[in-house]
Chains A and B, each alone.
Chain A
Amino acid sequence: MDFNYTPAETEFRMSLRRWLDEALPGGWGDTVFEPEDEDERAQFRLRWDRQLHSGGWSGINWPKEYGGRGATLIERAIFAEEMARARAPEGINIIGHNLAGPTILRYGTEAQKKRFLPKIISSAEVWCQGFSEPNAGSDLASVRTKATRQGDKFIVSGQKVWTSFAQYSQWCFALVRTDPDAPKHKGLSFLLIDMQSPGITIRPLRQISGESEFNETFFDDVEVPAENVVGEINDGWRIAMTTLAYERGPEDALGRQIRFQQELDKLLETAASLPAGGGRVIDDAVLRQRLGRSITEVQLMRLNSLRSFSKYASGAERGPDASVLKLYWSHAAQRLYETALDALGPEAPLAGQDPRAAAAGRFQLSYLQSKAFTIYSGSSEIQRNIIGERVLGLPR
Chain B
Amino acid sequence: MNFAFDEEQKKLGEAVERLLADFPRLADPDPANAREKGVWDALAELGLFALLPPESQGGLGLSLVDAALPVEALGAGLAPLSVAATLAATDVISQFGTPAQQNAWLPAIASGEMRISAAISEAGAGYGLSDIKTRIGSGKLTGTKILVPDAEDASHFLVLARLDPKPALAIVAKNSNGLSIRAHEDIDPSSGLCELNFKEVALNDSAIIASEAAAQRHQDVSATIYAGLQIGIAARMLATAVDYARMRVQFGQQIGAFQAIKHRCADMAVMLEAGRSAAYYAFWAAAEDAPDRSLASSMAKAYCGEAARDSCNETIQIHGGMGFTWELGLHRHLRRAKILEHSFGGCAWHYERVLAATLAEIRSVKSKQRSAA
* CB <8 Å contact, B266 and A296: no
Contact with B along A383-396 (1 / 0, CB 8 A): 11101110111111
Please measure, in the bound complex, the distance between the C-alpha atom of A176 and the C-alpha atom of B41, giving whole angstroms.
Answer: 64
* Interface-side segment among A116-124, A308-316, A363-371: A308-316
The CA of A303 and the CA of B273, in the complex, are separated in Å by 10
Residue of A nearest to B257 (CB): A395
Query: Which of the candidate stretches B23-31, B99-107, B274-282 sits at the interface with the other chain?
Result: B274-282
Tally of chain B residues near chain A (CB < 8 A):
48
Distance of A311 Cα from B276 Cα, bound (Å): 14
What is the minimal beta-carbon distance from B349 to any residue of chain A, in angstroms?
10
Q: Using Cβ atoms and an 8 Å threshold, which residues of chain A touch B253?
A: 395
> CA A396 – CA B253 in complex, angstroms?
10
In the complex, are the beta carbons of A300 and B274 less than 8 A apart?
A: yes
Overall SS of chain A's interface: helix
A269 within 8 A of B: yes
Q: Are A324 and B270 in contact (CB under 8 A)?
A: yes
Q: Is the interface of B mostly helix, strand, loop or mixed?
A: helix
Determine if B242 is an interface residue (Cβ-Cβ < 8 Å).
yes
Per the bound structure, the CA–CA distance linking A385 and B355 in Å amounts to 34
Instruction: Decide if A292 touches B355 in the complex (CB within 8 Å).
Output: yes
CB distance from A9 to the nearest CB of B (A): 7
Does B259 contact A77, Cβ atoms closer than 8 Å?
Answer: no
**Is B352 close to A, CB under 8 A?**
yes
Is A288 in the interface zone, CB < 8 Å from B? yes
Q: Which residues of B contact A272 (CB under 8 A)?
A: 359, 362
Give CA–CA (A324, B265) in the complex, Å.
12
Cα distance A395–B276 when bound, in Å?
26
Segment 1-52 of B: residues with Cβ below 8 Å from A: 1-6, 9
Is B269 interfacial (CB 8 A cutoff)?
Answer: yes
Query: CA of A38 to CA of B286 in the docked complex: distance in angstroms?
Result: 47
> Shortest beta-carbon distance, B369 to chain A, in Å?
12
A3 B262 Cβ-Cβ under 8 A: no
Is the pair A306, B3 in contact by a Cβ cutoff of 8 Å? yes
Cα of A395 to Cα of B351 in the assembled complex, Å: 37
- Number of A positions contacting B (CB below 8 A): 50
Q: CB distance B266 to A327 under 8 Å?
A: yes
Q: Which residues of B contact A394 (CB under 8 A)?
A: 242, 245-246, 254, 256-257, 261-262, 265
B303 adjacent to chain A (CB < 8 Å): yes
- Pick from A295, A311, A396: contact of B355, CB under 8 Å: A295
Chain A residue contacts of B348, Cβ below 8 A: 289
Whether the Cβ atoms of A388 and B274 lie closer than 8 Å is no
Selected A-B contacts with CB under 8 Å, 9 pairs: A1-B280, A77-B1, A269-B362, A292-B355, A295-B358, A307-B276, A328-B273, A392-B265, A394-B245
Where the two chains meet, the residues of A that have a C-beta atom closer than 8 Å to any C-beta of B are: 1-6, 9, 74, 77-78, 265, 268-269, 272, 282, 288-289, 291-293, 295-297, 299-300, 303-304, 306-307, 309-311, 313-314, 324, 327-328, 381, 383-385, 387-389, 391-396
Having A3-B290, A268-B359, one finds 18 other A-B pairs with CB under 8 Å, namely A1-B65, A2-B1, A2-B2, A2-B284, A268-B358, A272-B359, A292-B350, A295-B299, A297-B274, A300-B278, A307-B280, A310-B4, A311-B4, A328-B270, A383-B266, A384-B263, A393-B246, A394-B246
